[in-house]
Chains A and B, each alone.
Chain A
Amino acid sequence: MRIVCPFCGERDAAEFSYGGDATRLRPDEADADSGRWCDYVFRRDNPRGWHHEYWQHLHGCRAWLYVNRNTATHEIREVRMAEEHVARLRQEASE
C-alpha cells in the first residue's frame, strides 16, 4: 500500500503507522461527560469499505494525517493534514 503524504509525496505504507478512527471529534478534556468520552474511546464502527482514519508519517515527516481509505480494497481517496480534517469535523459539529 502507498500513501501520498501532503508533505513528502507518495510513500510506502511501511513508513506510516495507523492511528485509529477519525470519524469522531475528540471531546475536550474539560468535558466531564463520561458518556461522550465512552463514545469517543470505545464505540467505533469497523466498516468494510470506506473509512476515515488517522495515520502518522512516523518514519518521514511525522505529520499526523487524515486518510480516507477503503478497508476492503485499500483504495485511498483523500489524504490531508489531520488539522484540516479536525477543522472540518468542528465545522460540521457546529452546524
Chain B
Amino acid sequence: MRRGPWRLERGGIGIDRSRPLTFSWNGRPLSGQAGDTLASALLANGKRVVARSFKYHRPRGIYTIGSEEPGALVTLGSGARRDPNRKAPDVALHEGLQAVAQNCWPSPRLDLMSVNGLFAPFFVAGFYYKTFMRPASWWEPVYERFIRRAAGLGRLSDAPDPDAYVRAEASCDVLVIGAGMAGLEAARTALRSGARVMLVEERDWLGGRLGLEPAQVDDRPATAWVAHVAEELGAAERASVLTRTSAFGLYDHGMVGLVETLRPQSEQGLARQRYWKVRARQIVFATGALEQPLAFAGNDLPGVMLSGAVRGYVHRYGVAAGRRVLVAANEGSGVETALQLCDAGVEVAGVVDSRPDNQCKPAAALDERGIPYYPGHALVRALGWQQVRGARIAPLGNEGPMPAGLQTIRCDAIAVAGGWQPALHLQCHLGGRPPFDPERGIFIPPSLPDGHHHAGACAGVAAADAVRQSGRRAGADAAAACGFAPAVRANSSLHGDNSMAWGASDRLRIVPAIDGGKRFIDLQHDVTVDDVALAHREGYRSVEHLKRYTTLGMGTDQGKTANMLGLHALGEVAGVSAGEAGTTTFRPPYVPVAAGAIAGSERGQRFRPWRRSPVESWHRAAGADMITAGAWHRPRVYPQPGEPSSRAVSREAAHVRAAAGIVDVSTLGKIALVGPDAPEVVNRFYANGMKTLPPGKARYALMLRDDGLVMDDGTVARLGEQRYLLTTTTAHAAEVLSRIEFLLATAWVDLDAMVASVSDHWATFAIAGPRSREVLAAAFPDRDVSDAAIPFLAVREARFEGLECLIMRNSYSGERAYEVYVPADWGQAFWERALAVGADYDLRPYGTEAMGVLRIEKGHVAGPELDGRVTAEDIGLGRMTRRRKPCVGGVLRDRPALQAAARPRLVGLTPLDARAALQAGALLRATGKTGPEAVAGHVTSVADSPECGSVIALGMLAHGDQRHGEVIEAWDGLADRVIPVRVGPSVFVDPQGSRLHG
C-alpha cells in the first residue's frame, strides 16, 4: 500500500486505507485512498503548491477543508470535459481523476508569471482601472490579451459540454439545509413530528464538524451517533437525504435551488448533476459557520491553513498539514488544536495566542506534552519562499507587537484560528442584511419572512449542547408550523465540547506589519490590507465601492474567508467597527453552478418545444432549406440539386407570377372568436371599420396598441353572425390572444364573447398565381370555385375528404390567391393532393423567402416594417383605418407627434445599380450628407425581384410620401458601403391590382 509522505500512520475516520485510488496531478500519477478529497490526497502526497493566485501569481496551497476554499483552484478533466476553478477540498477523489494546477505556467512551483510579484508596488488597488485606461485603442490588441493571459482564472472548454444533466422538482414540509449536528437534529425532530423532510448536505457525508474532529455524543463516538440518525432518516419514507448537494439559492415563497452531483461525469447517458427546484413549506438553515483567517505578513504562503481545516485533515483523512505545525490564534481554540494535533502524532511547534495574558488559561495540558505556549503574542510574519519554513512572533504591547521581542520559530505549517462567522450567505438571498453583534464580533441572521428557521452555528449558537437544542427547536417549530404536533425529546448532554469561539470584536485580527511583507485578505484576488487602506484614502468608503475597486470578495469563493477580514480592515482605517463598515450583498449562487445543470435537458433541439407544421416532414423530404422562425422551422426555399439558394428564391417567386405556387403558412396565429358580442369585439379591437363586414367576408385589418402604434396585422374573417376567425402574424400570435383575453377580462366585461387559439387546429396553405383557381377547382372537384362563388375577400366552406375546410380569397402577392384551411391532421394529405392534382397547372411549392419577395414587390408590410414604432399613417394605411369609431389605440394615435408630417413613411427604394448589395438596416440620408443628424430613415426589407429585374427594397423615410423620384443614399455602416437609391411608391408590381382578378 502506497502512502504519501504526509499521511499519518493511523487515524482518518473518513478514508479506507485498504482501497487505494490512482489519480493524476499535472499529468503524473499519484495515489490516494477511498474517501479522500483531492485536497487531502494532494496534502498526503506532499503537494503543497497547488495553484497560483489571480493577480501576482503567488503560490497557493490548500487553505480550508470545504467549498469556501479561496486558493486551491484546480482544473479537472480535459478536452470538452475541462472543468476549471474547482476547489480542491470540494472535489471527491475517484479512480482516474485528472487534475491540473491552475494559473501556472509552466508549473506551479516555477511560474514565470510570478514576475508580476516583483512589480507588486504597481499592482495596487484599482490596478486594472488605473493601468489599462488609455490609450483606448490599446484595449483589444494589448491590454485585453495581457489581462486574459496573465490574470485569467481557469480556462473553460469551448467545446459543447458532453455531460448530461437533469432537472427535478420536489416539495416537502420541512427542508433542512446542512447536515451537521443541528441539521440532523432538526431533520430528525421534524420527521418524528410527522413532517415530510428533505435534508441536504454539500459534502458526501453527514455530520458536519462532527466528522472533522474527535467528539462524543450520548457517550459514544460522534460518528456512531451520526450513523444512527442517518439510519433513522434513511429508513423513513417521509424523509429524503441528499448528499453532495449544495443549496445555492434561496428564493421567494419557500423556493430553494439545489444542485446535486450524481457522478463525476456522465456514464451511459446517466446525468452528472441534478438541478432541484424545491418548494418547502418551512426551511431550517443549519449552514454552520466559517472559520476566519488572520492577517499577518506572508499569510498566503502554502502551509498556512485555517486551524479547523488542519484538525479536520488529521482526524478525517489522517493527513498532517505539516511535520511541525505552529498554531496562531486570537481565541481559545488554539490550545485545543495543538492538543488534537499532538495526540494524533503531529509535532506542534507552539501556540501563539494574541489574547492578553490575563484571558489565557494556564495550559497544563500543553506543558504535559511539552508544547511551548506564547500567550499575549502575535504571529507577525510567516517565513519561506514557496512554502512556510518558519514564523516570526512578537509579544504584544499597548502599541501592538513589539519589534524588540521578535523571535523566529521553525515550522512548516501554520494553523490559523481567527474566530468563526455564521455562514449566512443563503439567508441573505432574499435581500436582508445581517445585523452585526458587537458583543461577539459576528454578523447574525437577518430577519426573514415566516417559515424560515435558523439552527446551530449559523444562528450564532456555539456550545455543542446548545447547538443540539437549537436544532431540535427549529425542527419542532418547523413541523408545528406545518400543523404537526412537535416531538421534542428531553435534553441530553454532550461530552467533548468542540464549540467554536466567536471572535469577539476586540480580538487582534490584523497584525501590524512590523517586519515587512504583504498581509493578504483575499487569497484568490490578491487583495491586501494595504490595498484596502489605499482604496479608502482614494475615497472608496462604502464597502460596495471598496469591493468593486479592489475586487475583494469577488472571486469564485465570493470572499467566504475574506469578507469579514476586509470589513475589519476597512473599519480600522475608517475608525469604525466592522459592523459599521457594513456588509456586502449576497446573491445566488452560494457555490458556482454549472450552466449545464440549470439548463438540464433543455438544450440544443430541446431548448424549447419545437412547433411543427403538419407538413414539416414533407418539406424536409423535399430538400427544403429550413429556417428557424421563433419556435417554428419553416421551409425557406426548395433548391434543386446544385442550384444556388438565391437563384432558387427568384425561380420560385417568378413561378408564382407565371403559373401557380403553394406555400405553407400554417404558422400563422389563428384565433376563434364567438359570442353575441363578437361583432362589437372586433369592431373595438381593430382599427379598421368592422361593423360592415358581412358573414362570408374577410378583411385585412390592423391592431393598434393603447398608445396608438401598430401592434400587428392580420385578417378578420366573419364565418357567421357570431363567429369569427382572426389571423395574426406568426410572431405575435400569443401576444394578440392574450391581449383580447385581457380586454375581455378587465375592460369589456359587459361584452359576451369568448376567444380560443385555433392555431394548431388548422393547417393553412396559400395557393397563389394566375392558375390558382384551376388548382383549387382540381383540389375541390365538388365545389364551385368560380369568381361568382368565391369573389375576392370571400370566405367559404369547402370539403376535403368529407372534412370541413375553409377557403379564404385574399392575397399578399398581388396575384389571384386563395388561403386554404384544412384540419391539421389532414394537412399533409391535402398538401400532397394539391401538388398532385395541381401538376397539370404547373403548381409548385415555394418557401418563405419567395413569399417575402412577392410581398415586397407588392409593398405589403410585415415584421421588419411593423417594428413597434410605426403608426398606421407611417405605413400608408392611415385612410383605411380612419373610420370614426372607438377602438383600441384610437385616441392616442392622434397625438400630434404621431401625426407629424416629418415622420418616416413607407417608401419603395430602387438602387441605381440593379445588382447593388443593399442590406436591410442600412440608414437613409440625403446624398452627400453624413453624421447622425443626416439620418432620415432606414431600409426595412430587401428583395432581389425577378419581376423588376433589380434589387428592390422597402424603407421608412422622413417625408417619404413627398419624395418620390428623389435619389438618396443608403449607408451601410457595417459593410462601409454607400448605395445610391431612388425613392418611389412602395408598390413595385401591378399598382392597379388587376392581377388579383386575373
Residues in chain A within 8 A of chain B (CB atoms): 1-2, 12, 17, 19, 22, 26-34, 37-38, 40-42, 54, 56, 58, 62-64, 72-75, 81-83, 85-87
Q: Which of B251, B449, B745, B886 is the most central at the interface, judged by chain A CB atoms within 10 Å of its CB?
A: B745
**Residue in contact with A34 in the complex, picked from B742, B888, B892, CB distance below 8 Å:** B892
Question: Which 3 pairs between the two chains have the least Cβ-Cβ distance?
Answer: A29-B886, A64-B745, A74-B252
Q: Is the CB of A31 within 8 A of B891?
A: yes
Question: Closest residue of chain B to A3, judged by CB?
Answer: B253
Q: Is the CB of A82 within 8 A of B888?
A: no
Q: CB-CB < 8 A to A72: which residues of B? A: 431
Q: Contacts A1-B253, A2-B279 known; A37 to B706 CB distance under 8 Å?
A: yes
- If A29-B886, A37-B891, A82-B746 are given as contacts, then 5 extra A-B residue pairs at C-beta distance below 8 Å, sorted by A number, are A19-B742, A62-B741, A63-B745, A64-B746, A75-B449
Q: Is the CB of B749 within 8 A of A83?
A: yes
Q: Is the CB of A87 within 8 A of B253?
A: no
Q: Is the CB of A1 within 8 A of B741?
A: no
Q: How large is the interface on B (under 10, 10 to 19, 20 to 34, 35 or more residues)?
A: 20 to 34
Q: Contacts A1-B251, A56-B742, A64-B741 known; A37 to B749 CB distance under 8 Å?
A: no
In B221-265, the 8 Å CB interface with A consists of 251-255
Q: Is there a chain A Cβ closer than 8 Å to B738's Cβ?
A: yes
Q: How close is A45's CB to chain B, nearest CB, in angstroms?
A: 18
Q: Is the CB of B886 within 8 A of A30?
A: yes
Question: Closest residue of chain B to A85, judged by CB?
Answer: B746
Q: How close is A9's CB to chain B, nearest CB, in angstroms?
A: 13
Q: Is the CB of B888 within 8 A of A37?
A: no
**Residue in contact with B890 in the complex, picked from A29, A54, A83, CB distance below 8 Å:** A29
Q: CB-CB < 8 A to B749: which residues of A? A: 83, 86-87
Question: Closest residue of chain A to B254, judged by CB?
Answer: A2
**Residue in contact with A86 in the complex, picked from B279, B449, B747, B895, CB distance below 8 Å:** B747
Complex Cα–Cα for A56 and B743 (A):
12
Q: Is there a chain A Cβ closer than 8 Å to B684's Cβ?
A: yes
Q: How close is A64's CB to chain B, nearest CB, in angstroms?
A: 4
In B877-896, the 8 Å CB interface with A consists of 886-888, 890-892, 894-895
Q: Is the CB of B888 within 8 A of A2?
A: no
Q: Is the CB of B742 within 8 A of A73?
A: no
Q: Is the CB of B746 within 8 A of A26?
A: yes
Q: CB-CB < 8 A to B738: which residues of A? A: 17, 19, 56, 58
Complex Cα–Cα for A75 and B254 (A):
11
Q: Is the CB of A34 within 8 A of B706?
A: no
Q: How close is B179's CB to chain A, nearest CB, in angstroms?
A: 27
Q: Could you list some 14 contacts between A and B, CB below 8 A?
A: A1-B253, A12-B279, A22-B746, A26-B747, A29-B887, A37-B706, A37-B891, A37-B892, A63-B745, A64-B741, A82-B745, A83-B746, A85-B746, A86-B745
Q: CB-CB < 8 A to A85: which residues of B? A: 746
Q: Is there a chain A Cβ closer than 8 Å to B161's Cβ?
A: no
Q: Is there a chain A Cβ closer than 8 Å to B530's Cβ?
A: no
Q: How close is B659's CB to chain A, nearest CB, in angstroms?
A: 44
Complex Cα–Cα for A34 and B890 (A):
10
Q: Is there a chain A Cβ closer than 8 Å to B865's Cβ?
A: no
Complex Cα–Cα for A56 and B537 (A):
53
Complex Cα–Cα for A86 and B751 (A):
14
Q: Is the CB of A73 within 8 A of B449?
A: yes
Q: CB-CB < 8 A to B747: which residues of A? A: 26, 86
Question: Closest residue of chain B to A54, judged by CB?
Answer: B746
Complex Cα–Cα for A33 and B252 (A):
41
Q: How close is A6's CB to chain B, nearest CB, in angstroms?
A: 13
Q: How close is A86's CB to chain B, nearest CB, in angstroms?
A: 5
Q: CB-CB < 8 A to A17: which residues of B? A: 738
Complex Cα–Cα for A24 and B609 (A):
36
Residues in chain B within 8 A of chain A (CB atoms): 251-255, 279, 430-431, 449, 684, 706-707, 738, 741-742, 745-747, 749, 886-888, 890-892, 894-895
Question: Closest residue of chain A to B685, judged by CB?
Answer: A29
Question: Closest residue of chain A to B756, judged by CB?
Answer: A62
**Residue in contact with A28 in the complex, picked from B253, B742, B746, B886, CB distance below 8 Å:** B886
Q: Is the CB of B895 within 8 A of A34?
A: yes
Complex Cα–Cα for A40 and B449 (A):
34
Q: How close is A17's CB to chain B, nearest CB, in angstroms?
A: 7
Complex Cα–Cα for A93 and B749 (A):
16
Q: CB-CB < 8 A to B430: which residues of A? A: 73
Q: CB-CB < 8 A to B707: which residues of A? A: 41-42
Q: CB-CB < 8 A to A64: which residues of B? A: 741-742, 745-746
Q: CB-CB < 8 A to A83: which residues of B? A: 745-746, 749
Q: Contacts A17-B738, A41-B892, A62-B741 known; A1 to B255 CB distance under 8 Å?
A: yes
Q: How close is B752's CB to chain A, nearest CB, in angstroms?
A: 13
**Residue in contact with B706 in the complex, picked from A2, A40, A62, A81, CB distance below 8 Å:** A40
Complex Cα–Cα for A17 and B255 (A):
18
Q: CB-CB < 8 A to B684: which residues of A? A: 29
Q: CB-CB < 8 A to A30: which residues of B? A: 886
Q: How close is B432's CB to chain A, nearest CB, in angstroms?
A: 10
Complex Cα–Cα for A28 and B706 (A):
12
Question: Closest residue of chain A to B431, judged by CB?
Answer: A72
Q: Contacts A1-B252, A82-B746 known; A34 to B891 CB distance under 8 Å?
A: yes
Q: CB-CB < 8 A to A56: which residues of B? A: 738, 741-742
Complex Cα–Cα for A63 and B894 (A):
32
Question: Closest residue of chain A to B684, judged by CB?
Answer: A29
Complex Cα–Cα for A42 and B708 (A):
12
Q: Is the CB of B891 within 8 A of A32?
A: yes
Complex Cα–Cα for A62 and B254 (A):
25
Q: CB-CB < 8 A to B279: which residues of A? A: 2, 12
Question: Closest residue of chain B to A40, judged by CB?
Answer: B706
Q: Is the CB of A74 within 8 A of B746?
A: no
Question: Closest residue of chain A to B169, judged by CB?
Answer: A12
Complex Cα–Cα for A38 and B890 (A):
12
Q: CB-CB < 8 A to A28: which residues of B? A: 886
Complex Cα–Cα for A22 and B741 (A):
15
Complex Cα–Cα for A42 and B895 (A):
13
Complex Cα–Cα for A41 and B252 (A):
30
Question: Closest residue of chain A to B737, judged by CB?
Answer: A62
Complex Cα–Cα for A41 and B751 (A):
22
**Residue in contact with A54 in the complex, picked from B253, B254, B742, B891, CB distance below 8 Å:** B742
Q: CB-CB < 8 A to A2: which residues of B? A: 252-255, 279
Complex Cα–Cα for A1 and B449 (A):
13
Q: CB-CB < 8 A to A31: which residues of B? A: 891
Complex Cα–Cα for A19 and B799 (A):
41
Q: CB-CB < 8 A to A62: which residues of B? A: 741
Complex Cα–Cα for A62 and B745 (A):
11
Q: CB-CB < 8 A to B746: which residues of A? A: 22, 26, 54, 64, 82-83, 85-86
Q: CB-CB < 8 A to A32: which residues of B? A: 891
Complex Cα–Cα for A46 and B961 (A):
41
Q: CB-CB < 8 A to A42: which residues of B? A: 707
Complex Cα–Cα for A49 and B886 (A):
36
Complex Cα–Cα for A53 and B706 (A):
18
Complex Cα–Cα for A40 and B718 (A):
32
Complex Cα–Cα for A29 and B747 (A):
9
Q: How close is B602's CB to chain A, nearest CB, in angstroms?
A: 13
Question: Closest residue of chain A to B251, judged by CB?
Answer: A1
Q: CB-CB < 8 A to B741: which residues of A? A: 56, 62, 64
Complex Cα–Cα for A26 and B706 (A):
10
Q: CB-CB < 8 A to A63: which residues of B? A: 745
Q: CB-CB < 8 A to A26: which residues of B? A: 746-747
Question: Closest residue of chain B to A73, judged by CB?
Answer: B449
